Amino acid sequence: MKTFLLTIGLTAFCAARVLAADNDGFVTLFNGRDLSGWVNANCAPETWSAREGLIHCTGRPTGALRTARQYENFILELEWRHLSKGGNSGVFLWGTPIAAPGVPFLRGIEVQVLDHGYAEQYEKQNGRKSDWFTTHGDVFPIHGATMKPFGRHRGERSFPSEERSKGTPEWNHYRIVCTNGVLRLSVNGKEVSGGEDCNYRKGYLALESEGAPVEFRNIRLKELPSSHPAPNLIAPEDTGLRTIFTGLDLRGWKTNAITAQRWGVRGERLSLRAGEANPDATLWSEKDYGDAEFVFDCRPAKPAEGQPMTPPNVVVRGVEVKLPDASAGNYQRYSVAAKGNEIVVKRGDKESQRLTLPADVKARGPLGFRDHGAAMELMNLYAREL
């Protein structure tokens, strides 16, 4: 009878604790079974998976898994652990829906998730401890975001006031409080770093893949009242663009002996080797598109001294679209949208050309990147049906 009563008492106590957790305003961002509510921003299909109540990341390629919706003011709690010594990852706050131009990272504020082995390797190679990063909860803006850091810092990077994180394979707990552009990070129960005047201060939350396997669990969030930020402090909304490049290989693209010789993948980038131009080496998507928008970052190689640059050439629904304003040696973001009887091309946010489609244009067709003879790199390839 005592055992029975004890069991009933423990059950009631646990039920009360669960009810309290449900009623404290927090909601789970991960159901423990699948990645519902999350979007693969720019990784391979297998990079992120749900297993045994965890979000597992292979670490390859570098990229992000983001939330399907934006958040502004909130308290975010989660646990993380690295599965290898020196592993690197992060939690992105107020991020963009797709990667920033020319890099595999979202623009946003990063809360560093770094194993101690990373710092140990740095010290071994350089004979001194790092003065520009720690493994205990740095907070910093990346790729266009801005933040005024709290406490000890270097540039915009806020260093933690205490060393509280645990090394692999132990779990660490982060509590991140974000209100009106102010961010405060607590590591394993104590506030250590953060910043203010953050821009953006409303956007997507994301987990980072960066070279090593890492796991996350118990991800929950409590939303706080809005501060009604100005439009320039809000990240762009998701327009439906989805990645069409794994960052690892040519899955999703048609290959043959010629394309295999000319095209390759290295470091989240799709590269075309220099050589004699060959139309048979055009790289075609396996999927056909009708009215659609394509977004990609392009970096043509610098031509030999005294030689003109050959502009990259994209094929949309069978129509050749040259990019004569592409800058050699630099990444630039292009949007090529085909809808109805025209194609609109943007370089960055500015329209650069508008083409009228011929009457006999194909209703659907693959996206193609021509082999124009010159070396070229592409990254952050996205598409959406219009």
- Residue 372's pLDDT is what? 82
Nearest-angstrom CA–CA distance, 385 and 279: 26
Residue 4 has pLDDT above 80, yes or no: no
Mean of pLDDT values over 62-70: 98
Asked if the model's pLDDT at residue 111 lies above 90, the reply is: yes
Averaged pLDDT for residues 84-95: 97
ω into 169 cis (within 30 of 0): yes
**Region 269-285 average pLDDT:** 91
Domain architecture of the chain: domains with CATH: 24-236 (2.60.120.560), 253-385 (2.60.120.560)
Instruction: Tell me the C-alpha distance between 190 and 160, whole Å.
Output: 10
- Of 49-58, 80-89, 241-250, 300-309, the range with the lowest mean pLDDT is 300-309
Kindly indicate the confidence band of residue 353, based on its pLDDT and cuts at 50, 70 and 90: very high
**308 compared with 60, residue with greater pLDDT:** 60
What share of the chain in percent tops pLDDT 90? 80
Contacts of 314 (CB under 8 A, 6+ apart): 294, 320, 321, 322, 323, 334, 336, 367, 368, 369, 370
Position 14 scores a pLDDT of: 42
Range of weakest confidence among 164-178, 198-212, 320-334: 320-334
Cis status of the peptide bond prior to 61, with omega within 30 of 0: yes
pLDDT of residue 1: 43
Task: Kindly write down the DSSP assignment for every residue of 204-254, as one continuous string.
Answer: EEEEEE-SS-EEEEEEEEEE-------GGGBPPPP-S-EE---SSS-TTEE
**What are the tens digits of pLDDT across the range 234-243?**
999 999 999 9
Mean pLDDT within 169-180: 98
305-322 residue pLDDT tens: 777 788 899 999 999 999
For residue 23, the model assigns a pLDDT of 57
97-109 pLDDT, tens per residue? 999 999 999 999 9
> Which pTM was predicted?
0.91
Report strand pairing: 182-187 vs 190-199: antiparallel
* Top mean-pLDDT range of 169-183, 319-333, 349-363: 169-183
What local confidence, expressed as pLDDT, does residue 16 receive? 40
Q: Is the pLDDT of residue 53 over 60?
A: yes
| The pLDDT of residue 96 is above 90 | yes
DSSP track, 113-153 = EE-HHHHHHHHHHHSS--SS--SS--EEEETT-EEEE-SSE
pLDDT for 129-163, tens place per residue? Answer: 898 999 999 999 999 999 999 999 999 999 999 99
- Cα–Cα distance, 85 to 213 (Å, whole number): 10
Task: Quote the pLDDT of residue 308.
Answer: 79
What is the pLDDT of the chain when averaged over all its residues? 92
Rounded CA separation 383/386 (Å):
10
The reported pLDDT for the residue numbered 171 is 98
**Is the pLDDT confidence value at 8 over 90?**
no
Higher per-residue pLDDT: 289 or 1: 289
Token pair of 312, please? 């990259």
Q: Is 21 exposed, middle or buried (0-12, 13-18, 19+ CB in 10 A)?
A: exposed
What pLDDT is recorded for position 11?
Answer: 43
Give 140's strand partners. Answer: 110
Residue 167 has pLDDT above 70, yes or no: yes
- CA-based torsion, 248, 324, 262, 260: positive or negative: positive
The amino acid present at 280, given as its one-letter code, is: D
